[in-house]
Structure 1
Amino acid sequence: MFTGMSAFPLTPMNETGVDEVAFIRLLKRITSAKVNSIAVLGSTGSYVYLSREERFRITQLAVEHSEGIPIVIGISALRTRDVLYLADDAQKLGAHGVLLSPVSYQPLTDMEVYSLYDMVASSLSVPLCVYDNPTTTHFQFSDELHGKIAALQQVRSIKIPGVPKEIDAAKERVKQLRAYLPSDVTIGVSGDPYGAVGLNAGCDAWYSVLGGLYPEICMKIARAALAGQSELADNLSNRLAPLWQMFLKYGSLRVIATIAEMLGLTDTPNLPLPLQSLNGAARLELETMLPILDN
């Protein structure tokens, strides 16, 4: 399950609640592309802004409309107690796996993070993906800690930040981390500008934001890289370089939310305040890139 291209869809919402119709519309767009998995309630899914009840409903909808594609549910929360509640909800609703990052207001120690994963993993009957996202959590995993956590029951993948852009350095980074991991734990690259190079460098999966809106494009890149066609994967990714720059400048969530609005897939607004989609010159710049995505 934690291999290939995993699509991370937006959770469309406004201040009155989640737009279930728009969410189902996005799911249908993803399932039609036959992606390898769908990861709901990740950072792109705005999990941290949602109540347990809202997350329960989103999970329910994702499982119901999965069309047989494995569903991975984000269960991250500030308190371990709440993570355990969310894990229980996900399992009861039929999720195939869960995704967990060490979210905290107070800086966490290595011991505290290990304790979190130890407690959660021991409660699970489905596989767990470790979500290493220092941009949002401000926690830096060491390779040693990754190895210790990866040895826990039910841990089956690590979602790492973007690898170096230079292929030899990227291969070395993946090789370095893999040396600490059990053979049954996969490595998945995140940060869409690094998707192709990560797969070409030996990552097993690409955890993709763009895949939640343009899954066909991302599947082409993933298939090429995993088939050993590294040059083709690079060329397909490089065509999207202007979009990757927008991701890096404004954040992938804002960019994807804006595109979803432009395509009429969601209403405006579609993010939880105070977050907002792009406007002004940035929105106009993004609009010029849509033809690239349609070809």
Structure 2
Amino acid sequence: MAVANTEHLLEVNNLKKYFPIKGGILRHTVGTVKAVDGVSFTVRRGETLGLVGESGCGKTTTGRTILRLEQATSGEVLFEDKDVLKASSRQMKALRRDMQIVFQDPYASLDPRITVGQSVAEGLVIHGIGTPKEREERVREVLAKVGLHASQINRFPHEFSGGQRQRIGIARALIMEPKLIVCDEPVSALDVSIQSQVLNLLRNLQREFGLTYLFIAHNLSVVEHISDRVGVMYLGKLVELASREDLFREPLHPYTKALISAIPNPDPTARRERIVLQGDVPSPINPPAGCRFHPRCWIARPICSEQDPEFAEKRKGHWAACHFAGEF
């Protein structure tokens, strides 16, 4: 009998998501967009794993595929040792109580035709949890937890600011008492002053309810603030994964080093070597042979264009996909 892994809440193995490109009069498949191309990682119970990269690198698609909001092309997603990708509709409905998402756009993620109370209670209604009175009481409790007043339960989304709407989105996820929440760029659409409030709210809720986060973002400063470990994606692949301290102190992949060099420094007297990458991100329809980063890499050598580097543990707990990891 298999022994359950009590340390890892989520395990992703060789996950792939390809989108077909249709063309011609008969709409034949003429190519594929390799949005996620062989991504593997684990998320420990109670931690925050940050997933970062440029726009179009596949990080959001990774999160959506894990939750089966997108159907995976291949791979394996284990949530508490249950195979999410092979789960039946009934099994998936049960799993969704434990796996929730906070979407990026707080304006588009709420139905403008129903009240905030109805929106937050929707999951309870779908799963048949509680009586109407019990659901209303639960909604009031959760709204208070995210910093909103219970009296706002009968208001509509247009009556709230962006930051308040994102708090409502967090309440929708929290009301199901999940174990894992995928945060898909939850603060990127908010003002900087509001971002810190929402990030601190997420951290407080994590401590109070023992939540586990997969935190997707393109802002490294945000990821550094909230994450325990950080994974860096480039063109559909994971190129580095390490603890927050190790990754920001000594990155092993040149792409990660370039990203970190672009973080603004609040100290005007401090000097940081800025690495400006040449060229654009290659197309995920026809990615380069070998290492996908090599056309933009300043340490690239012939082997980089010929052989795809293995994503391997270079140091204890520090993984990278680079033939010359740390040699820059």
**Richer in strand (by share):** 2
Shorter-chain TM-score range: 0.3 to 0.5
With structure 1 as the length reference, what TM-score do the two structures score? 0.45
Which of the two has greater helix per residue? 1
- TM (norm. structure 2) is 0.42
